[in-house]
Each structure stands twice: as C-alpha cells, then as structure tokens.
Amino acid sequence: PDLILMDINLPGMSGLDAMLALKKQVSMKDVPIAAITANAIPDQEQLGLSAGFNRYITKPIDVSHLQVDINELLYPD
C-alpha cells in the first residue's frame, strides 16, 4: 500500500502494536501510517507520533483536513 489509515482501538491487537509490527517488515518500513482515533488527549497524540505514526488524526474526522494529511503523506515534497 501507499498509505495506511490505522484505527488505534482494534479488536485483539492495538493499532499501535499493529503499526509497530508493520514497520518491522522491510517492505512496509517506508509506508506512512496515520493513526485514527477518538482519543484526542495531547499526551496520547505525542506518544503515538513518538512511537512511529506519521500522523495522529482524531475523530470526528474533518474530511478537508484528512485530504490535506493524505496529500502530505503521499506527496511529501
């Protein structure tokens, strides 16, 4: 994939654990992963970004902001 939008609250495995597992795969290490979550606490956002998420997008999702995030992740230059 070119981009992954990862929900943080997944059944059976957290989105954070799933992101870390994906980043360990050589073929996935450069694929940007954006966290999608209802957890809008600033400390959680910083933890997610520090752990390796490329973006931390909180719900409810503003579609126009999401489009900007997606474009920036897909076309960083």
Residue with tokens 């966290």: 35
Q: What is the pTM of this model?
A: 0.91
φ/ψ of 9, rounded to 5, equals -95, 85
State the Cα–Cα distance between residues 21 and 28, nearest whole angstrom. Answer: 9
How far from chain centre, in Å, is Cα 5? Answer: 6
Where do the H-state alpha helices sit in 1-77? 15-23, 42-51, 63-74
State the Cα–Cα distance between residues 61 and 20, nearest whole angstrom. Answer: 23
**pLDDT single digits (tens) 25-70:** 999 999 999 999 998 888 999 999 999 999 999 999 999 999 999 9
